[in-house]
Amino acid sequence: MVENFPPLPEPDVKARDIAASKLGISGKTLDKMEAVINKADELRDTGHEEEADEIIETLNTQSVAKAYEKVAPPKPKSAQPDTDNMPEHDDKNAVLLDRLQRKWNMNMRDDWRGASKEVKEKFLCFIGK
């Protein structure tokens, strides 16, 4: 007797992605939804019924993303641009140039190697070199 089994999922596919696809959402959205529901349960367990109801109301009437924004931990400050240490410039191009140079110093060296001659020339002309 020969048995037919369904094909195995791709090795890089996570179980959460398979489960989420059955609901018509992405795995990341499922993770966010789980975090929202867990937070609402936690709030109810600690006697904060109104806050829990507000989060669930947002989940039901707006979106998973909006509800997740209410329960997600704040993003670290380092992920936001450091505007305190930016040089004072009246010229918008000078501010843009400063940002481009900062980005260059962080992670654009590899992009530069792969850039076409035309892109390199435009960039060098823009920064005045």
Q: What is the pLDDT of residues 41-70, one digit of tens each?
A: 999 999 999 999 999 999 899 989 999 999
90, 63: one domain: no
64, 28: one domain: yes
Supply the pLDDT for residue 118: 73
Supply the pLDDT for residue 43: 92
Higher pLDDT, 47 or 10: 47
Q: How far is CA 124 from CA 37, 40, 103, 121, 128, in A?
A: 52, 53, 15, 5, 6
65, 109: one domain: no
CA dihedral 44, 50, 51, 57 (to 10 degrees): 100
Supply the pLDDT for residue 14: 78
Q: What is the pLDDT of residues 64-106, one digit of tens each?
A: 999 999 998 877 655 555 555 655 545 666 666 666 666 655 5
DSSP result, 3-25: ---PPPPPTT--HHHHHHHHHTS
In a domain, 65, yes or no: yes
Task: From 58, 68, 59, select the one nearest 32 (Cα to Cα).
Answer: 68
Number of domains in the chain: 2
- Where do we find the tokens 């140039």? 97
**Cβ contacts of 65 within 8 Å, gap of 6 or more:** 29, 32
Print the domain residue range for 61. 15-71
